[in-house]
A = this chain, B = another copy of it.
Amino acid sequence: MQEEKEISQAVVRRMPRYYRHLGELLEAGVERISSNDLSRRMNVTASQIRQDLNNFGGFGQQGYGYNVKYLHEEIGKVLGLNRRHNIIVIGAGNLGQALANYVKFEKHGFMITGLFDVKPELKGMLVRGIRIYMLDELEAFCAENQVDIAALTMPKEKADAIANRLVDLGIPAIWNFAHVDLELFDKNVVVENVHLSDSLMQLSYNIVKNQKK
């Protein structure tokens, strides 16, 4: 692989989709695929695929197509999936517990190691073997366990304060489900937002637009 350049987030956003399609091809026993066939499957142009992959050094031989297993592995490395990521979930309500129950994240090295909440009745409960701690145990937990990602699934009113407390504890990345743009004092912290309401609103915009046709 070449030395890495600064790669646009638009390209980064497309990489998990390549990884997913290559994983499906691998499961189906496909060993090699041309950029044209991959293009048809993914419904993007072959030139887009070549451009995207060239950001990371190419991975293919002209006229010979891509080796599916190799490309899948290399994109996995680009995405940091060749290492373990420990996740804690702040907020052990329905969404937090839903995340803890998602076994598929583990296949890609994302391990949820603890849930945190403020409701005393949840203390010590297990969700698929993962313990629920009280929020005041957060500092002690982080002193003893490496945490790579904190998922925020609590109400938006508390999100900023808790996010900055997590940043203070040295947690390098936040997966934010709270319906707010976080204001962090440390701009180096990686934030990825999942705003479910925004996604629903985009859907309803397109429903209305379709009905006008």
Do residues B98 and A205 form an inter-chain contact, with CB atoms below 8 A? no
Which residues in B have their C-beta under 8 angstroms from that of A125? none
Which residues in B have their C-beta under 8 angstroms from that of A203? 149, 173, 175, 190, 192
Do residues A197 and B105 form an inter-chain contact, with CB atoms below 8 A? yes
A99 vs B98: C-alpha distance when bound (angstroms): 10
Contact with B along A172-204 (1 / 0, CB 8 A): 110100011100000010101011111111111
A176 vs B101: C-alpha distance when bound (angstroms): 18
Do residues A196 and B198 form an inter-chain contact, with CB atoms below 8 A? no
Do residues A200 and B108 form an inter-chain contact, with CB atoms below 8 A? yes
Residue of B with least CB distance to A173: B207
Count copies of this chain in the complex: 2
Chain B min CB distance to A127 (Å)? 9
Given the interface contacts A173-B206, A194-B194, A206-B190, does A201 sit within 8 Å of B94 by beta carbon? no
Do residues A16 and B197 form an inter-chain contact, with CB atoms below 8 A? yes
Is A64 among interface residues, defined by CB-CB distance under 8 A? no
Do residues A201 and B108 form an inter-chain contact, with CB atoms below 8 A? yes
A186 vs B46: C-alpha distance when bound (angstroms): 24
Is A97 among interface residues, defined by CB-CB distance under 8 A? yes
Most buried by B among A17, A83, A196, A201: A201
Interface, chain A (partner B; CB < 8 A): 4, 9, 12-13, 15-17, 19-21, 24, 42-43, 78-81, 83, 85, 93-95, 97-99, 101-102, 104-105, 108-110, 148-149, 172-173, 175, 179-181, 188, 190, 192, 194-212
